[in-house]
Amino acid sequence: MTPLQILQTKFGYSGFRLEQEAIINAVLQKKDTFVLMPTGGGKSLCYQIPALLFDGLTIVISPLIALMKDQVDALRVNGIEAAYLNSTQSFQEQDYVLGKIRSKELKLLYLAPEKLLKPESSFFKTITSFDISLIAIDEAHCISHWGHDFRPEYLMLAQLKHALPSVPFIALTATADRLTRKDILDKLELKNPITYLSSFNRPNIRYIVEPKRNSFEKLLTFLDKRKEESGIIYCLSRASTERLADDLTSAGYQALAYHAGMDRETRARHQEMFLRDEARIIVATIAFGMGIDKSNVRYVVHMDLPKNIESYYQETGRAGRDGVDSEALLFFTIADLVKMKRFVEIENNQEQTEVYLKKLNQMGTYGDLYYCRRKYLLNYFDEEAPDYCGNCDVCLTRLETFDGTIIAQKALSAVTRLNERVGMIYVIDFLRGSKSEKIREEHKQLKTFGIGNDLSKEAWKGFIHDLVQQGYLIKTDGMYPVLNLTDKSEDVLKGNVTVMLTKSKEHLDVVADGVENYDTDLFQKLKEVRRDLANAENVPAYIVLSDATLIELATYLPHNKDEFRQISGFGDIKIEKYGKHFWDVIAAYCREHDLGSRIQLKSPKRQRNTKSETANDTQRQTLGMFKLGHAISHIAETRNLTMGTIETHLAFFVQQGELPIEQIIPSEKVILIEKALGTSTGPGITPVKQQLGDACSYGEIRLVIAHREFLKEHVHSNVSSD
């Protein structure tokens, strides 16, 4: 069997995600490999599929005992022979597993690193005497001091490498900066490792920040639209998790607290109930989540500011591992930033404290951001990203701009009058003519004092941020940043330029209701079937089938085995085991509502997005890479195609309305090209290109044309439906 066949028959997925196939091939060629892929990216298959193709045993080193059991359960459900060994098991259990290895009944063994102890230990000798085909090191950053979770036991793994010189190693992690990455390769002593660095982008997670005022009411509004969905709510303190869980329970939600101060039993019970969907919400400190592999977490809320972007990224990454649209909501106030400073201080270690303070400030910047949040996150991890992602609160509310020249002039002249010596809040108070004593008397005498009292504080904040973004003002670095003018300021003050500003946004409106094009009633019924099956097998529900799979069932209403096979997540074993149970419910539902199968709506390649059924594979692949944040030039190079071809691929999706033009070309440029198109004299795009010169490429012009096509159709259909 080929890797693809295994993927389809054993795991029930139609195609590999980016890089998975290349990684699997490298492993099959017995090369040492290093994989950096974000949480939910699909790391496990990178060693699970080779494990099934190799003759011998694959050992997976994993530090997280909870996760281990889960992964083994998930494999067994797919009919794959796997087991684990860790220190929580009795000797009998361990012997049983070792016996299975000896009789070659196992393909995969999950192993806790502390089991290996020393090379002299008999366990180490036993293990290394087996016929081993592959060693996979999960959470490989644990081997480095530079990582955020150093575990000394991991250092032993170099000995394992020495003992098994001809066995390929694959090291995998979801979080590692450059320093940690290098350290992993060194410490493991990998041989000419092939490195795969995937994008950190999680396109299905929508990033939202809300001002932390009336946060409980806002939270209720948010949860009210998500009653049937699972979510994690993070709080800073243990006490606040318990309080919030109580408050939510009083408000009618099934919410449980989780923190390290609770007794072990309660904690384990709460976690288990959450995993099994018996409780929808877990309100936790950051102690919760390590090793939680629940794939159907639909939202992660932060009531308080996390300490750094790494933690925030990892915690929000627990949402949407199944690829279904999910949300990350942060309640933010500057006051939290100040409060948190205490928490990142390391006593008697000024140097380390500085590092942590810087990280905290970067987290604060995220909360107060006036450009795409995804771009900020990706740039933080050294990754390029387009200006517009279309799936964060900033991008979603950035739509309306207006001529804000006068507002800009007011702000800039205030900064001038105040001699570029004060911070934003002072400037705003000054503009609004605040009576506060904080404003110096001599400033109150100035002519510009109070010229901006027609706007609210919040509105001014937005506009000043906007002006900073656009380079008309600059905010200095340091503890007390002040606003300064820039080279571009003079033109504004003299009235030589028009300044476009973004209208202040309406919060929580972007927290959309979620547009379902499947039947939610049926979905709930399918969930019940799944829960019963899961309980019967004593595994969490998402191990039976993911939410994404149930959504497909509820969307396409498959009617027979062949049709079930087309549903993502249904491998042969799962069809045999569970197919009938789901079929009964779907059939009853279809009879009741007089519905037939809709499987023909599903594009043969089983892409989730069925909007453009005619998109071919190569176009899709381009789109996939582009959405992961790769530049057109990079995609062209990687795929060995010309940039023009790549642009043509993208133009297809622009015309379908699947890809906003702003994600590809900056809006100023779009406007420029549109103008040129409007005034073009001759046919074809050559005259347009001639008019624009080197400012734009042919490809960009074609993309704008595709965008216009989309608008034409879109506007037309709006009119006709009125």
Pairwise CA distance, residues 259 & 294, whole Å: 18
Tell me which of Zn ion, ligand ADP, none is bound by residue 82, counting a contact when its beta carbon lies within the kind-specific cut-off of 5 to 8 angstroms: none
Pairwise CA distance, residues 127 & 82, whole Å: 16
Beta-bridge partners for 132: 57
Residue 44 binds to ligand ADP (criterion: CB under 6 A): yes
Site map 535..574 versus ligand ADP, x via CB under 6 A: -----------x----------------------------
Tell me which of Zn ion, ligand ADP, none is bound by residue 395, counting a contact when its beta carbon lies within the kind-specific cut-off of 5 to 8 angstroms: Zn ion
3-state helix, strand, coil in the chain (%, to 5): 50, 10, 40
Residue 623 binds to Zn ion (criterion: CB under 5 A): no
Q: Which stretch binds ligand ADP (CB under 6 A): 36-44, 364-372, 575-583, 593-601?
A: 36-44
Residue 375 CB, shortest distance to Zn ion, in Å, is 6
> Of 23, 24, 37, 395, which one interacts with ligand ADP (CB under 6 A)?
37
Q: How many residues in the shown chain lie near ligand ADP by CB under 6 A?
A: 16
Give yes or no for a contact between 286 and 311, defined as CB atoms under 8 angstroms apart: yes
Residue 505 binds to Zn ion (criterion: CB under 5 A): no
Q: Match 């590692």 to its residue by tokens.
A: 176
What are φ and ψ of residue 61, in 5° steps? -90, 125
Tell me which of ligand ADP, Zn ion, none is bound by residue 389, counting a contact when its beta carbon lies within the kind-specific cut-off of 5 to 8 angstroms: Zn ion
State the number of CA atoms in the 13 A half-sphere of 17 facing the CB: 17
Residue 328 binds to Zn ion (criterion: CB under 5 A): no
Residue 374 binds to Zn ion (criterion: CB under 5 A): yes
C-alpha of 595 from chain center:
36
Site map 465..484 versus ligand ADP, x via CB under 6 A: --------------------
Name which of 27 and 45 has its Cβ closer to ligand ADP: 45
Tell me which of Zn ion, ligand ADP, none is bound by residue 374, counting a contact when its beta carbon lies within the kind-specific cut-off of 5 to 8 angstroms: Zn ion
Give yes or no for a contact between 119 and 145, defined as CB atoms under 8 angstroms apart: no
Pairwise CA distance, residues 299 & 253, whole Å: 15
Give me the DSSP letters along 200-225.
---TTEEEEEEESSSHHHHHHHHHHT
- How many Cβ atoms are within 10 Å of 605's Cβ, its own excluded? 12
Name which of 324 and 510 has its Cβ closer to Zn ion: 510
Residue 280 CB, shortest distance to ligand ADP, in Å, is 20
Pairwise CA distance, residues 167 & 54, whole Å: 11
Residue 47 binds to ligand ADP (criterion: CB under 6 A): no
Residue 377 binds to Zn ion (criterion: CB under 5 A): no
Name which of 280 and 374 has its Cβ closer to Zn ion: 374
> Of 18, 26, 36, 45, which one interacts with ligand ADP (CB under 6 A)?
45
Beta-bridge partners for 284: 234, 258
- How many Cβ atoms are within 10 Å of 223's Cβ, its own excluded? 21
C-alpha of 501 from chain center:
29
Residue 322 binds to ligand ADP (criterion: CB under 6 A): yes
Query: Which residues, in sequence order, are CB contacts of 445 under 8 Å at separation 6+?
Result: none
Alpha carbon distances (Å) from 414 to 440, 447, 473, 680, 707: 14, 10, 12, 43, 41
Pairwise CA distance, residues 627 & 313, whole Å: 18
Window 389-418: residues binding Zn ion (CB under 5 A): 389, 392, 395
Residue 13 binds to ligand ADP (criterion: CB under 6 A): yes
Please name which of 307, 431, 301 lies closest in space to residue 358, comparing C-alpha atoms. Answer: 307
Q: Match 């795929």 to its residue by tokens.
A: 639
Residue 16 binds to ligand ADP (criterion: CB under 6 A): yes
Window 674-693: residues binding Zn ion (CB under 5 A): none
> Of 78, 144, 175, 295, which one interacts with ligand ADP (CB under 6 A)?
295
- What does the block give as tokens for 522? 């049926």
Pairwise CA distance, residues 408 & 491, whole Å: 11
Tell me which of Zn ion, ligand ADP, none is bound by residue 372, counting a contact when its beta carbon lies within the kind-specific cut-off of 5 to 8 angstroms: Zn ion
- How many Cβ atoms are within 10 Å of 506's Cβ, its own excluded? 8
Residue 139 binds to ligand ADP (criterion: CB under 6 A): no
Give me the DSSP letters along 107-160.
SEEEE-GGGG--TTSHHHHHHHHS-EEEEEETTGGGG-TTSSS--GGGGGHHHH
Residue 25 binds to ligand ADP (criterion: CB under 6 A): no
Strand (E) positions, 377-491? 401-403, 473-475, 483-485
Helix 572-593 to helix 520-537 angle, to the nearest 10 degrees? 140
Tell me which of ligand ADP, Zn ion, none is bound by residue 392, counting a contact when its beta carbon lies within the kind-specific cut-off of 5 to 8 angstroms: Zn ion
Name which of 395 and 636 has its Cβ closer to Zn ion: 395
Tell me which of ligand ADP, Zn ion, none is bound by residue 144, counting a contact when its beta carbon lies within the kind-specific cut-off of 5 to 8 angstroms: none
Residue 277 CB, shortest distance to ligand ADP, in Å, is 16
Residue 19 binds to ligand ADP (criterion: CB under 6 A): no
Q: Which stretch binds ligand ADP (CB under 6 A): 42-50, 96-104, 603-611, 675-683?
A: 42-50
Question: Which helix H or strand E contains 4, and what residues bound it?
Answer: helix 3-6
Pairwise CA distance, residues 591 & 587, whole Å: 6
Residue 27 CB, shortest distance to ligand ADP, in Å, is 15
Name which of 38 and 42 has its Cβ closer to Zn ion: 38
Q: Which stretch binds ligand ADP (CB under 6 A): 39-47, 209-217, 527-535, 646-654?
A: 39-47
Tell me which of ligand ADP, Zn ion, none is bound by residue 669, counting a contact when its beta carbon lies within the kind-specific cut-off of 5 to 8 angstroms: none
Name which of 43 and 359 has its Cβ closer to ligand ADP: 43
DSSP 601: G
Residue 255 CB, shortest distance to ligand ADP, in Å, is 25
- What does the block give as tokens for 7? 């993927």
Residue 42 binds to ligand ADP (criterion: CB under 6 A): yes
Q: Which stretch binds ligand ADP (CB under 6 A): 37-45, 186-194, 299-307, 622-630?
A: 37-45
> Of 39, 180, 308, 655, which one interacts with ligand ADP (CB under 6 A)?
39
Give yes or no for a contact between 69 and 17, defined as CB atoms under 8 angstroms apart: no
Q: Which stretch binds ligand ADP (CB under 6 A): 10-18, 141-149, 635-643, 694-702?
A: 10-18
Tell me which of Zn ion, ligand ADP, none is bound by residue 58, counting a contact when its beta carbon lies within the kind-specific cut-off of 5 to 8 angstroms: none
The residues that touch ligand ADP, with contacts defined as CB under 6 A, are 13, 16-17, 20, 37, 39-45, 295, 321-322, 546
The residues that touch Zn ion, with contacts defined as CB under 5 A, are 372, 374, 389, 392, 395
